[in-house]
Amino acid sequence: MFNIYDKEPTSAISLNLAIKKIKEIYANNKSEKKYFIIASKEVELQPENIDNLVEYIDSDKDVLVVGYKLKDNILTDKEYKTFSNDGGIAYQVPWNTCAIWDYKLFDKYIGEFDEICSNNQLGKLILVINGDVKYTGYKGMEDGLAISKALDKNSNLKYKLLKDELFWNIDGDDERKIDQKVKLARKNIVLSTFINIKGYSIEKLRSAAIEE
């Protein structure tokens, strides 16, 4: 067990600090299967949920990452449908809000999460939330971009988004709730923008999903 402290623990930069530490730990670990789980403390993750993640990712050597669909206590069904653009690409891939990665595949085809997801060099993204204009950065979606990077190198890799939903409990005041809506509203735009910048394929990412 180890602790890494950062102001933005879910940023690509922070996650890469953890990946570096995991690599040191696994350097002397010769086990055949190696995984790491990334999950928000706000997700109600139970032992049986972890068992399901491990069981699924262990079932196929080409499965890179498995995650759960998430249901928060902020978005209405109408807002979710609007933000997801009826199942836009960002809403089809596992998020690091709750996902398990195959370490060996990650290390071979990804290495680290792309810090383009943290640096906000693209300026401001304008969104309308509850009728109000909100300005946010092009940031996040390091999970979907990492899958795209891996598929660019090995098109046989797959990912799975489990249909069972986990509860994502967002506590806080009205400002925190608006922040959550902004975060979810930008996901499709951000991921598709980053994929285009990197020259990856949205269609390849879409086709790598394991369906029920």
Q: What is the DSSP string of 114-146?
A: -THHHH-TT-EEEEEETTEEEEEES---HHHHH
Distances (CA, A) of 197 to 9, 48, 77: 25, 38, 31
DSSP strand pairing (63-72 vs 158-168):
parallel
Per-residue pLDDT of the chain (212 residues; tens, 9 = 90+): 444 444 555 578 889 988 898 888 888 777 777 899 999 999 999 999 999 999 999 999 999 999 999 999 999 889 999 999 877 999 999 999 999 999 999 999 999 999 999 877 788 999 999 889 999 999 999 999 999 999 999 999 999 999 889 999 998 788 889 999 999 999 999 999 999 999 999 999 999 999 86
Q: Is 95 helix (H, G, I), strand (E, B) or coil?
A: coil
Domain assignment of residue 6, yes or no: no
Domain assignment of residue 48, yes or no: yes
Domain assignment of residue 40, yes or no: yes
- Is the Cβ–Cβ distance between 55 and 157 less than 8 Å? no
What local confidence, expressed as pLDDT, does residue 85 receive?
A: 85
Q: pTM of the predicted model, to two decimals?
A: 0.91
What local confidence, expressed as pLDDT, does residue 8 receive?
A: 54
Task: Give which of 163, 161, 115, 164 is closest to 141, Cα–Cα.
Answer: 115
Domain assignment of residue 101, yes or no: yes
Kindly report the CATH number assigned to the domain that includes residue 88.
3.90.550
What local confidence, expressed as pLDDT, does residue 143 receive?
A: 97
Domain assignment of residue 134, yes or no: yes
What local confidence, expressed as pLDDT, does residue 122 receive?
A: 85
What local confidence, expressed as pLDDT, does residue 33 receive?
A: 78
What local confidence, expressed as pLDDT, does residue 160 receive?
A: 97
Domain assignment of residue 7, yes or no: no
The predicted-structure confidence for 8-33, as pLDDT tens digits, reads as follows 555 788 899 888 988 888 887 777 77
Domains held by the chain: number:
1
Q: Is 8 helix (H, G, I), strand (E, B) or coil?
A: coil
Domain assignment of residue 172, yes or no: yes
Q: Which residues contact 91 (CB under 8 A, 6 or more apart)?
A: 83, 84, 85, 187, 188
What local confidence, expressed as pLDDT, does residue 6 receive?
A: 46
What local confidence, expressed as pLDDT, does residue 107 receive?
A: 94
Domain hosting residue 142, numbered range:
12-207
Task: Give which of 102, 101, 100, 98 is closest to 33, Cα–Cα.
Answer: 102
Domain assignment of residue 61, yes or no: yes
